[in-house]
Amino acid sequence: MATVAEPMLAHKHEPEENYLTCSSGFLSWAMTLDHKRIGVMYLFAVTASMLLGGVFALLVRIELLTPDKTLMDHNTYNHMFTLHGAVMVFLFIIPSIPAALGNFILPVMLGAKDVAFPRLNLASFYLWVAGAIFFLMAIAMGSLDTGWTFYTPYSSSVISGSQAGGIVAAVFGAFILGFSSIFTGLNFIVTVHTLRPPGMTWFRMPLFLWALYATSVIQLLATPVLGITLLLLILERTLGIGVFDPALGGDPVLFQHFFWFYSHPAVYIMILPAMGIISELIATFSRRHIFGYRFIAYSSIAIALLGFLVWGHHMFTSGQSPLATVIFSALTFTVSIPSAIKVFNWLATMYKGSISLATPMLYAQSFIFLFTIGGLTGLFLGTLAVDIHLHDTYFVVAHFHYVMMGGTLIAFLGGMYYWWPKITGKMYNELWGAIGCLMVFVGFNLTFFPQFMLGSQGMPRRYYTYLPHFQGYHVISTIGALVLGTGIGVALATLLWSLWTGRKAPANPWGGVTLEWTCSSPPPLANFEKTPTVGDPYDMEQVKWDAKTESWIPRPVSERTGNSASH
């Protein structure tokens, strides 16, 4: 593809204003329609939620240091793990990459000025805020102890009991957050369809955009089911219509079907964007064209669609029919293959590359390590005979933390470090970035690896007290959690610190060739001064290192060999 037009990479002059400086004052943020400012607000909001969820997690881990009471009583503990799960899932992981990083990056990467519906975008943010307020109310009322899964009839018995307020607030909060998620998904889909600049064909879209697109499709199709389920749950209690509660003639297993029909695809809402980020990081920091571009793009879509067909694998012991169980097991294995191939593609991208171990790449490598463990341990859980033993034990807890946290959170941090210079215009300190990443990596493994053994030895999840012979692993896990917590603290502090002390970021500090690196850091309000020209998103030859400005600048077409973009 040597005929690619030269992308607009250079700015002869720095624009005077960027999106941060073009206006000021509270209302200029609160009422902004700029996707970048909305993205930044999301970034603060979801990071705050992560810290809140993290505090709950640490309290849970500290309680589990000893088999009996360490800090709190039964009920407090049950609230803590519920809040940890609910806050992390609904307020952090689901919106983290799509709503926060996606909002900022998607239009710029695509070469657009904004998302298709800027007002709707702001509305999504405020819906998120409203949902979060209901969650905080639930916490304040102190009565959310159902687990983040709200299984009936326990949840409905709590709703009808004296503690009704808290759980209704939380369920309603989740309902509203669902709308926020649906609107964001809709917005992204329309943006990708209608706002691509000339030359940005589907197969010139960076893989992060493919991932966000696939994610948006799931958000749009699956989230309404969650909304309806939560609504039914509330109606059952207020109007006494029997849907899930056997006392009213309902079926509790139906709730599980509905719930997982959303929540399993939600797992892919969480992981697909993370995989998208990793594709960008691996290519940029290996200075190699991504290996198997089309396959990775298609696999995102395949995962999104197949993800709708496997919800029953959460219910192998629930009393669903054996035939259904066998079918769900088979379908579950089919989803594992596209994920595995993505990992092989990332490795192949590093082959013969020119690898730099800047902090985002360290996170990308941690991702491969942890996600591989998370994915492989899924095989145990897909295999029926083995899952029966492992279901609802710490093995499952370890497995999904390796996927959700080792996957999504690590990719989120990697993405934050990668785009931080673009978002804020500041370079962070590499040494501290690396230290933070290392602590997160070590702490993470210490926390969650022992939980595999705990689980297969027979330690059930959501246990406040436990049999004394499990204590050894619990102690290691708790120590790990403290290291992990500190690591995340260091990682975030390093970023924040850069706002004061960081060197000014050049337009392209990493050598990325996707469009966001062609506009200045931070970008001007309208992103691009003139409509960008679009090349192959992974043709690394388009840029070269310039020692003078310590940044990557466009390489004149005459200097290119044209190899890297070939097939």
Partner 1 sequence: MLPIQTALPLCEMLAGDVFFPQQASTIAPGVDKLFYFIFWVCVFFFVLVVGFMTAFLLKYRRKENFDASGPTHNTLLEATWSVLPFFIVCYMFYEGVIGYMDLRSAPESAYEIKVRAKKWAWEFTYPNGYSTNELHVPPNSPVSLLMQSDDVLHSLFIPAFRVKMDVVPGRYTKLWFDATVPGKYDLECTEYCGEKHSEMLAIVTVHNDRSEFDAWLAKASDVFGPVDRGEKTLAQVGSELALRKGCGQCHSIDPQKSKKTGPAWWGIFGEDHQFVDGTSAKVDENYIRESVLKPTAKVVKGYGGNMPSFAGQLKDREIDALIEYIKTLK
Considering only residues 94 through 133, tell me which ones interact with partner 1, judged by CB under 8 A: none
Considering only residues 275 through 314, tell me which ones interact with partner 1, judged by CB under 8 A: 286-293, 295
Considering only residues 221 through 250, tell me which ones interact with partner 1, judged by CB under 8 A: 246-247
Q: Look at residue 460 and give its three-state secondary structure.
A: strand
> Which of 11, 2, 1, 3 lies closest to 554 in space, CA to CA?
11
- 529 lines the binding site for partner 1 (CB under 8 A): no
> Which of 249, 222, 199 lies closest to 536 in space, CA to CA?
199
Q: What gap in Å lies between CA 33 and CA 37, rounded to an integer?
A: 8
Q: What gap in Å lies between CA 563 and CA 1, rounded to an integer?
A: 9
- 428 lines the binding site for partner 1 (CB under 8 A): no
Q: What gap in Å lies between CA 63 and CA 208, rounded to an integer?
A: 39
Nearer to Cu ion, 402 or 538 (CB): 402
How long a stretch of residues is the chain? Answer: 567
**Min dist. Cβ of residue 348 to Cu ion (A):** 28
Using alpha carbons, list the distances in angstroms from residue 90 to 96, 131, 335. Answer: 10, 9, 23
What residues contact residue 105 under an 8 Å CB cut-off, 6+ apart? 39, 208, 419, 516
- 1 lines the binding site for partner 1 (CB under 8 A): no
Sign of CA dihedral 265, 267, 271, 273: positive
Nearer to partner 1, 102 or 312 (CB): 312
- 237 lines the binding site for Cu ion (CB under 5 A): no
**Min dist. Cβ of residue 268 to partner 1 (A):** 18
Q: Which single residue is written with the structure tokens 């929540």? A: 263
Say which entry of Cu ion, partner 1, none residue 264 contacts (CB below 5 to 8 A, set by partner kind): Cu ion
Nearer to Cu ion, 120 or 221 (CB): 221
Residue number with the shortest CB distance to Cu ion? Answer: 264
Amino acid residing at 302: A
Nearer to partner 1, 157 or 238 (CB): 157
Q: What gap in Å lies between CA 398 and CA 377, rounded to an integer?
A: 9
- 25 lines the binding site for partner 1 (CB under 8 A): no
87 in Cβ contact with 56 (< 8 Å):
yes
What residues contact residue 323 under an 8 Å CB cut-off, 6+ apart? none
Contact map string, positions 516 to 545, toward Cu ion, x by CB under 5 A: ------------------------------
**What are the tokens at 387?**
């899952």
- 482 lines the binding site for partner 1 (CB under 8 A): no
Q: What gap in Å lies between CA 273 and CA 265, rounded to an integer?
A: 13
DSSP label at residue 545: E
Q: Which of 84, 204, 264, 287 binds Cu ion (CB under 5 A)?
A: 264
- 399 lines the binding site for Cu ion (CB under 5 A): no
Q: Which of 20, 33, 253, 438 binds partner 1 (CB under 8 A)?
A: 253
Q: What gap in Å lies between CA 297 and CA 539, rounded to an integer?
A: 17
**Min dist. Cβ of residue 391 to Cu ion (A):** 12
Considering only residues 531 through 560, tell me which ones interact with partner 1, judged by CB under 8 A: 538, 540-541
Nearer to Cu ion, 342 or 426 (CB): 342
Contact map string, positions 46 to 75, toward partner 1, x by CB under 8 A: ----------------------------xx
Q: What gap in Å lies between CA 332 and CA 377, rounded to an integer?
A: 13
- 432 lines the binding site for partner 1 (CB under 8 A): no
- 289 lines the binding site for Cu ion (CB under 5 A): no
**Min dist. Cβ of residue 309 to partner 1 (A):** 15
**Min dist. Cβ of residue 160 to Cu ion (A):** 20
Concatenated DSSP letters of 249-287: T--HHHHHHHHHHHHHHHHHHHHHHHHHHHHHHHHHHHT
Nearer to partner 1, 34 or 145 (CB): 145
- 372 lines the binding site for partner 1 (CB under 8 A): yes
- 31 lines the binding site for partner 1 (CB under 8 A): no
**What are the tokens at 95?**
């919106």
Say which entry of Cu ion, partner 1, none residue 290 contacts (CB below 5 to 8 A, set by partner kind): partner 1
Using alpha carbons, list the distances in angstroms from residue 438 to 321, 432, 445, 450, 502. Answer: 46, 10, 11, 19, 21
- 160 lines the binding site for partner 1 (CB under 8 A): no
Say which entry of partner 1, Cu ion, none residue 322 contacts (CB below 5 to 8 A, set by partner kind): partner 1
Contact map string, positions 180 to 219, toward partner 1, x by CB under 8 A: ----------------------------------------
Q: Which of 393, 408, 498, 527 binds partner 1 (CB under 8 A)?
A: 393
Q: How far is CA 228 from the centre of its chain?
A: 24
Q: Name the residues that contact Cu ion, by CB under 5 A.
A: 264
